[in-house]
Amino acid sequence: MPETQPKSVQTFLDYLRYERRYSPHTVTSYELDLTQWTAYLASAYESPAVGAVTASMVRSWLAEMKEEGISSRTINRKISTLKSYYRHLMKTGVVEQSPLTTVVSPKVQKRLPAFVAEQDMHRLLEDLPFAGDWQGISEQLIINLLYATGIRVSELVNWRQQQFDPSNGQMRVIGKGNKERIIPLSPELQQAIRAYIDARSEAFRQVPEVMVTHRGKKFTARQVYDLVKKHLSRVTTQQRKGPHILRHSFATHLMNHGAELTAVKDLLGHSSLAATQVYTHNSIEKLKSIFQKAHPKA
């Protein structure tokens, strides 16, 4: 942390880390935003006291970022960080009022989540071969798990054997905010997981996480990203090929086959329906296509 960083920032980050139990990645994101905010206050306003910060100071920072070509989506994230920070300062009695009260977030054009077509996922998992060595077997199971359960990469790489419940045909994962949720597993996926766990060598068994590389170490998020991109390139020209597109595909395909929105919300581990509703747009597009093909007056 920079020396000019207010003590209240460190207190806030500790609150996120130890009380809210946010992931290290999320805390780092908050820390980066607040470090940039503190640096701006130092350069533009000679580091005013926390209680002396005004809405005009916030707006001038936002205007500077806009001039630098920073996207509205990124600016909105930084506004959200500041709102959380000053809300915590009010809660702890450090300030009486937040300077963000009158700050308006820039509009962001809604972007529908990209997804892989069902036939492409079927071709990848059923028709195309994977390498027969341990790495190939691991990569195939990773893609299968991401697509068949909709879990996040962080949930996958930290998933442990005790969270696999074959007797009930389900798995437990620890999601954002340290929230646990249960996801059902198909008989085929249960069998694949069992076979994978049974095949792990003694050296591999020392690693508590289920998914391990050919060196007997847990997969990193970067490794998962690279392998997913590599294999999705075999079946789709979709520009986005990271692991999150498999989560989008999971949700979209469920909705296209009539799954209830609330059920998809619970499977994804969303805290509210608002985050899940974006997938209804893709379903509506499918309904339009069906209507145009089937209705005589379309």
Residues 6+ apart with CB under 8 A from 133: 214
Q: Among 112, 124, 130, which Cα is nearest to 240's?
A: 112
Among 152, 231, 241, 248, the active-site one is 152
Under a CB-based contact definition with an 8 Å cutoff, are residues 192 and 166 in contact? no
Where are the alpha helices (H) located in the chain, listed in sequence order? 7-14, 24-45, 55-67, 72-91, 118-122, 134-149, 153-157, 187-199, 202-205, 221-232, 244-256, 261-268, 273-276, 278-294
Among 176, 181, 200, 240, the active-site one is 176
* 110 classed as catalytic: no
CA pair distance 145, 139, nearest whole angstrom: 10
* 270 classed as catalytic: yes
* 15 classed as catalytic: no
User: Could you give the angle at the alpha carbon of 14 between the alpha carbons of 9 and 34, nearest 5°?
Assistant: 30
Q: Among 35, 34, 39, 168, which Cα is nearest to 88's?
A: 34
Q: Among 39, 42, 82, 43, which Cα is nearest to 59's?
A: 82
* 122 classed as catalytic: no
* 73 classed as catalytic: no
Among 231, 241, 247, 253, the active-site one is 247
Among 30, 86, 147, 279, the active-site one is 279
Among 59, 160, 181, 244, the active-site one is 244
* 244 classed as catalytic: yes
Kindly list the catalytic residues. Answer: 152, 176, 244, 247, 270, 279
